[in-house]
Amino acid sequence: MEHPLEKFKYCPKCGSSLFYINNEKSKRCKDCGFVYYFNPSSSTVAFIVNARNELLVCRRAKEPAKGTLDLPGGFIDMNETGEEGVKREVFEETGMEVIATQYLFSLPNLYVYSGFTVHTLDMFFRCKVADDLHFKAMDDAADLQFIPLEKIHVEEFGLGSIKKGISLFLDFERN
């Protein structure tokens, strides 16, 4: 697989084409000396479990992995915390108001967007919502449903970090 830095041909500071691989994590401009580090983008994932021990899952409306199961979440915006990002993403995709968050763990992921591989660090949160009876699939979610934890099948989820995150979460819930 091509290294993501190969896609960056010009220095983002001065625009020079003398922008070369510095090491496995960065490129350096020979004209102005600027070093660009290729770091992962931050994203969030929400585990919302209702009183009946069911997990809220969505069906992806867009690529990558369109049509597979997913969890609410998405990229964090500039000047936003992980907690703010997961609350916003849950609201955008479900209309539900998150009233409490608990950080659980993070996982690295590769997310292909418009043919470009984005390295992400997915932060997983357990979220409590104000009302788990009224929700609507919006934005990146084609459909939403609560599924009993014992009927969750990891292989039905399309994204790598989500599959691994679901497995970790289910193991934690069982113990």
Secondary structure (DSSP) of 110-175: EEEETTEEEEEEEEEEEEEES-SS-----TTEEEEEEEEGGG--GGGB-SHHHHHHHHHHHHHHH-
Percentage of the chain lying above the pLDDT 70 cut:
99
In this prediction, residues 134-149 reach a mean pLDDT of: 94
Q: Which of 94-98, 125-129, 133-137 has the lowest mean pLDDT?
A: 133-137
- Coil, strand, or helix at residue 6? helix
pTM for the full predicted model? 0.90
**What DSSP character marks residue 170?**
H
CATH class for the region spanning 41-174: alpha beta
d(CA 144, CA 58): 4
